[in-house]
Amino acid sequence: MNREEAKRRAQALVDQMTVEEMASQLRFDAPAVERLGICAYNWWNEGLHGVARAGTATVFPQAIALGATFDEELLYEVAQCIATEARAKYNESVKQEDRDIYKGLTLWSPNVNIFRDPRWGRGHETYGEDPYLTGRLGVAFVKGLQGDGAYLKTAACAKHFAVHSGPEDMRHYFNAEADKKEMWETYLPAFEACVKEGHVEAVMGAYNRTNGEPCCANTYLMEEVLRGLWEFEGHYVSDCWAVRDFHENHKVTDKPVESVKLALEKGCDLNCGCTYQHIMEAYEQGILPKEHIRRSAVRLFTTRFLLGMFDETEFDDIPYEAVESKPHLETASRAARESVVLLKNNGILPLDKGKLKTIGVIGPNADSRRALIGNYHGTSSRYITVLEGIQDHVGEEVRVLYAQGCHLDKDREEDLAMPGDRLSEAVTVAKHSDAVVLCLGLDETLEGEEGDTGNAYYSGDKKDLQFPAPQRELLEKIIETGVPFVVCVMTGSAMDLCRADETAAAVLQVWYPGARGGRDVAAILFGEASPSGKLPVTIYRDMAELPDFTDYSMKGRTYRFLEKEPLYPFGYGLTYGEAGVQDAVILQAPDCRGLTETEGVIEVTAYNRGDRTAEEVLQVYVHVKGTGNEVPHPHLAAFARVRLEAGEERKVRIKVPAEAFRTVDISGERKYEGTGALLYAGFGQPDKRTEALRGSGGICLEL
């Protein structure tokens, strides 16, 4: 069904409603209108990395881990799996007249905000700090969720529009200030891609204000940009209880009826929260025209018709057995393996079972299910922790000793014990082991969304980049033993890894790898698979490099604007192979002056001189010359996964979009104004730190 037909049917249906019936349909928990054959529908469902909060589902790696894959095809496949499971669960729920929350077809994902500061608690819901990477992966995810059939398979939602990335504890009254250059250079491109290329069906407004106006009633963002410049035709939904913030926290209105009027006037069609229960009051007072109510109702029913809720569709026969099916679990496993980033390796990895009699597995996240799943997760029928993955992998060949070592963040595990009650056991295990795998990190109880209705934990932002004190003490105790150890960092954000980098034999960033991700971490550790993930964020050396958290200017933030050398750069990650690039030629010169909008094509000669297969991510960065509007450092412009067999050398072609050569001026206008450009191709950024860590650099081409 095309949008015009869906809209026509929506208009015909809405025009049969009373104003009160229309108003009722603008709530996230829309009631039935039985006389018109309209069933109750709850719009609130989550699909960030699997169908969430509705029982059993495949739990894929957290979004930031998906970002580390740099793999558009994979993101599309993951989203297809999620949409299939959402349909399978929906089909069964409606048969039983179960129309509860988290059981619908409108998935409030993906989160395409920019992870501008590693302290932000919700950063692990995003694909990282780069607008281009986020846009490419966001579009792939949206297309996977929505499908390409006659009807939408599910309806995706790009959130949180816009200029939103903490602080969590201030979000209900915070005003994020960003000039037009920063908005169009950093905060808006991923949303634009999801709307104009991905044709995302919904956009969710953020809690905060942006440049003085609430994001759920923002003239510039909603009217001028989203509906105007981008010609968005889907529906707009508030973040949950965000409209209530208008009068209670932002103080831009005095009472609920005024908040209702403002939100609907600006085009916020659906309210997650309770404020739209005042629609009729506003209407009866004469401050809210019927047409605003009708307009939003038509948009919402257009989405419901596009989903086929009033028809028979090709998705009605998706069986419940699709949930957590073997193909979906295999995709989750592939995603976990592609997401692991090898940050350091002195040669200890991959571990050789034939040379180990005993391996120690230590740390509060070693046998933790919470450390597998991130936030906004479903329930798996089985979990495989890192400890269990290692045990299963080595079987009877190697003795595995385990010690928790410490509580995740408290000074003791047992309340009646003394502080550090698990440390001596960890030291014992280390001393009785040939090598140690030390699993440190966080989970959704320590980094995540501010606790409110619908969130299981009060977590929020990090205060700093340090591991909790008990884990720092545990690390020092393991260092003192002198036993070689590998650190597995299980977090959704950048931590201070300086001490681990100094002392560990190897460091792996494994993120929150999904419900069964421990098996895949073990596969990486023992060389069944080679690590191939790349950092979608910068890992800083310390907090001194970061501006104030509330400062939304990009100066000093992310790899494009860094002023100090990072510990591990964006785009960096090692493999077990010895991969590099040795030559590159321009096959088709891009039009970097915008005369013909011609994309570039370059051919890069890549090699693997190692003795095992390597997967790598070829990255192309651009720096436009001759303009003061270019960002300080070369920016990502293209990427592609490359598989190289041992000893293989081959030529890889990669396209560079013409858009990469436009810069943004202070008014927010994108222009082709450079005199030329530098193109860099390699398996990482064109910076000195990446070159030093990898032992080789990329190729520079000049236009």
Please, what's the b/e burial string for 654-683 (b: 16 or more CB within 10 A of its CB; e: otherwise)? bbbbbbbbbbbbeebeeebbbeebebbbbb
Contacts of 654 (CB under 8 A, 6+ apart): 601, 602, 604, 618, 620, 638, 639, 640, 681
Helix (H) or strand (E) run with residue 508 in it: strand 506-509
Count CB atoms within 10 A of the CB of residue 39. Answer: 15
Count CB atoms within 10 A of the CB of residue 242. Answer: 30
Let me know: does 448 contact 398? Beta carbons within 8 Å: no
Contacts of 79 (CB under 8 A, 6+ apart): 47, 140, 141, 142, 143, 144, 145, 156
Candidates 436, 434, 417; CA nearest to 477 is: 436
Q: Report residue 448 as tokens.
A: 């995540």
Candidates 268, 436, 423, 469; CA nearest to 362 is: 436
Q: Which of 71, 117, 130, 239 is catalytic?
A: 239
Candidates 545, 556, 546, 566; CA nearest to 120 is: 546
C-alpha to C-alpha distance for 6 and 656, rounded to whole angstroms: 37
Contacts of 416 (CB under 8 A, 6+ apart): none
Let me know: does 492 contact 462? Beta carbons within 8 Å: no
Candidates 267, 341, 264, 353; CA nearest to 67 is: 341
The single residue listed with the structure tokens 């891009």 is 590
Q: Give me the amino acid identity at 592.
A: C
Q: Give me the amino acid identity at 413.
A: E
Candidates 342, 510, 522; CA nearest to 442 is: 510
Let me know: does 639 contact 619? Beta carbons within 8 Å: yes
Q: Provide the β-strand partners of residue 614.
A: 644
Please say if 239 is a catalytic residue: yes
Kindly tell me the sign of the dihedral angle through the C-alpha atoms of 316, 321, 324, 330. Answer: negative
Contacts of 415 (CB under 8 A, 6+ apart): none
In angstroms, what is the C-alpha Rg of the chain?
25
Candidates 226, 224, 205; CA nearest to 215 is: 205
Candidates 250, 382, 321; CA nearest to 91 is: 321
Q: Report residue 601 as tokens.
A: 């094509």
- 660 CA to centre of own chain: 22
C-alpha to C-alpha distance for 599 and 592, rounded to whole angstroms: 9
Residues identified as active-site: 239
